[in-house]
Amino acid sequence: MAVAPARSIGPGRPKDMEKRAAILDAAKRLFPQHGYEGTSMDAVAAEAGVSKLTVYSHFGDKDSLFREALRERCRQVLPDALFDLAQADGLRQGMLRIAHAHASAVTDPEAIGTWRAILGDCRQGNPRLGQLMWEEGPARMRNKMEHFLVVAVKRGDLQIADAGRAASQFLALLKGDLHAMRLFGCSGCQEGLEREVIATAEAAVEMFLRAYAPR
């Protein structure tokens, strides 16, 4: 008589994945509101409706939870597919998609809250948080943008000697004054801000394309 194979009860079962998702959602809400130091594992567990032991079993420690929450947030607002030139309707449209998404991301209230909270923690002698923020946010974005530009150069769409530097230039153009304004609380009218976000993004694309057009 055939023996049915034993069912896996490992960490990949749906119930565990639901708990993991609930913990990440809780972390993404609490870290921007209270900062790293002000967010305890007990608070995350309570917010997620799980035990603290469950939080530790999924993420190991607070640094890992913070990194994973930050990583998931960044990939939600700026997914990897956004930087796939092959999926875009031409170079200009591909860059506009990136520009709009990035400009909106860096002026998003939740993102600004995270920046403020982490900067405050860094001032209190916790520089590793800034490093985590840099690696999962700006550094990842720069690397993705650099790869996008390398592909564009290979296709003959752009003429760039240093794609890494050009990627940094493009991202700086996208920010303009908007990120600093939101960081300092100078938000102004929301409708006017949204228009300015779009206008800044589109102007950055046009300037960049003119600067690096094939000659």
pLDDT tens profile 135-148: 888 899 999 999 99
Read off the pLDDT of each residue in 117-132 and give the average, rounded to a whole number: 70
Among the CATH numbers 2.40.30.40, 2.60.110.10, 1.10.10.60, 3.40.640.10, which is that of 14-70? 1.10.10.60
Q: Is the pLDDT of residue 125 over 70?
A: no
Q: How many CB atoms neighbour CB 135 within 10 A?
A: 13
How far apart are the C-alpha atoms of 132 and 34, rounded to whole Å? 17
Domain positions in the chain are 14-70, 79-211
Phi-psi map region of 34: left, alpha, beta (phi>0 left; psi -120 to 50 alpha): alpha
Whether domain 79-211 has CATH 1.10.460.10: the reply is: no
How far apart are the C-alpha atoms of 65 and 68, rounded to whole Å? 5
CA terminus-to-terminus distance, the chain: 75
Read out DSSP for 21-48?
HHHHHHHHHHHHHHTTTT--HHHHHHHH
- 3-class SS of residue 12: coil
Phi, psi for 185 (deg, rounded to 5) = 85, 10
pTM passes above 0.85: no
Q: Is the pLDDT of residue 4 over 50?
A: no
Q: What is the largest CA-CA distance in the chain?
A: 75
How far apart are the C-alpha atoms of 85 and 91, rounded to whole Å? 7
Task: Quickly state the pLDDT bin for 200 (edges 50, 70, 90).
Answer: confident
Task: Quickly state the pLDDT bin for 196 (edges 50, 70, 90).
Answer: confident
Take residue 160 and report the two structure tokens written for it: 């760039």
How far apart are the C-alpha atoms of 55 and 65, rounded to whole Å? 9
Task: Quickly state the pLDDT bin for 10 (edges 50, 70, 90).
Answer: very low
DSSP state of 80: G
Take residue 92 and report the two structure tokens written for it: 């200009």
Nearest to 99 by CA among 211, 202, 212: 202
